[in-house]
Structure 1
Amino acid sequence: MAVHGASMEAAGPYDRARALSAFKLGDKTFYWMTRLSALLVLVLLGGIIISLIIGAWPAIVQYGTAFLTTSRWAPSADPPVLGALSPIYGTILTSAIAMLIAVPVGLGIAIFLTELCPMWARRPIGMAIELLAGIPSIIYGMWGFFVLGPFLANTMQPALINLFDGIPVLGSIFGGPPSYLSLFNASLILAIMVLPFITAISRDVFATVPPVLKEAAYGVGCTTWEVVRNVVIPYTRVGVIGGVMLALGRALGETMAVTFIIGNSFRISPSIFAPGTTISAAIASEFAESDGLHQSSLMLLGLLLFVLTFFVLAAARLMLMRLQKKAGS
């Protein structure tokens, strides 16, 4: 035993040096792999931006800032008259309506699952909500075209048109005639598509609230609504806003489902029941048959969508930073 111990002590320094060398090599390898992965993301992002700018450059030179203020889209005219105002209007409007519908519903489902739902029903309901995120967008579009669109045009839209008829502003927003293909129908499809993102993220962040905080609130006589409003929401607002912004990014860029049901009409109407188009829907429906200045204009639309999404996500990040700073102070 003494001899064996002596031999181990003799071999100890060499083994430790070799082990340290192996650890350093593994640490350096890991460091450079993570750094290259991060750089790869930046390279890909930069490549996409450069490709969009190169493809859109002829349209930028031809139209300049007038591209943003022109609503007419006539690629077959001589010379072509192409403007992005209608797709930009449709993109912002459909995303805004979708978020107005999806955010309250998604937060309500998340609150129900974490605070009110029986334990035996939480898992099935949660799985059902998450499965909505796995349905392909083209399936949503087909369902919207064949089922939801006719249902809304025959039931909900006539009722809203009659309800707000003659009322200033609202009469124009909910003006007729009913349509199977409209901005409102596309917005409703978008709301259904982004609902799982809002619900899943909100449910996960609501679950991180320490039980002792809620128990203390209940202990002083707070109702469930007061606990949610004064404890759960303030504690998790950063995560909730992050989930909402993630859903908004999905709504801004959704393509196939919107293309099926929005009508693809390049015009601006005050009525949400009128057909319209979005940037992504315009690109999807026309890019395959485009060339020359028409194709360049579609590339410029893609660049505008990229910039719009970037500013939305940047604004969300600034908002989260301010909330975190305020919470820290």
Structure 2
Amino acid sequence: MPMTDKERGLGDAIDWSFAAGVGVRLTRSEPAMSRYTRDTVRDELFAAAARAEGPVREHTRLGDGSEPPPALVVDRPGWVRAAAASMADLTASPTSGPGGGRPWVGKPAGAQAGAMLAYLSSAVLGQYDPFSRTLLLVAPNVVAVERALRVPTSDFRLWVCLHEVTHRVQFAQAPWMADLMREAAAELATAVDEPVGEMAARLVSAVRDLRDPDGKPMSQRGVLGVVRALQSGPQRESFDRILALGTLLEGHADHVMDGVGPAVVPSVARIRRAFDSRRQRSTGPIHRLIRLVLGMDAKMAQYVHGKKFVDAVVARAGMDAFNTVWSRPEALPTLAEIDEPDAWIARVLN
């Protein structure tokens, strides 16, 4: 019996193998490096990832002492292939598996997804894939950023690894988060039987909120409002759940970077100043539009809001109490609690 729209996932709508091929062809050229530099970067990133594990575990008080697998150092095409495989795993429907059953639908969407991956491939420094349990470090992007910031290379590479290793430790402590992400993705991909008029009314209201009373664009806040307006109640709940989880994970990683950094990265203050300045630097209108559509500005906000939440809870309750957050899905903060850490403390710790 053929699947209904409600049973299909994004994996049935997007051909991720095709997306990987498109993304690889569209990746931007990488910074010029001699073979010696390329080999040195690879070796230093391997070593930095291994070196970061101990300080991260000690600071977070997470981990069982087991030896993690070595990091995988990749170029931009390598990241595109790995990211496409991860997305295929995340979005696969339980009945059809990755690569679903409608290739004539999946290839156009795959081409769009491939273009998105190609753009992101020059921006990502590292990534932990909770589905393959692989820590990826994108060597040419690390080199490009450290050259732009003019910071000590060995320090910067270790600093980047502190962030990505923290993500590996998070998922090792709470492997159920990967399943939660799959469930949320499945809900977001579910078709909804809803009168068009009701959806249109929500959309009009959300678009109206794109501008504040003075008529100035409200950028990411308004875009998120439009996204939520097009979703059903269950989809909005899943969207908020995954947004809150991402905010927690990124904020916790930034908290760990700042907590561990001074002890192991001599130039950490210089790196943090330069990197934060780079995050806030304005770009051309086309790049700003692309960043907005891909949610990259929202991700930047996740670092800020999430770190404030973690900083506040750790300061008030201690690291051991904060680590309750990794114990079960119900202990995760809601979007509202991210901005109200006392509410999370009252609900989960008291």
Same fold per TM (> 0.5)? no
Larger Rg: 1
* TM tier relative to shorter chain: under 0.3
Q: Please report the TM-score for the alignment, with normalisation by the length of structure 1.
A: 0.28
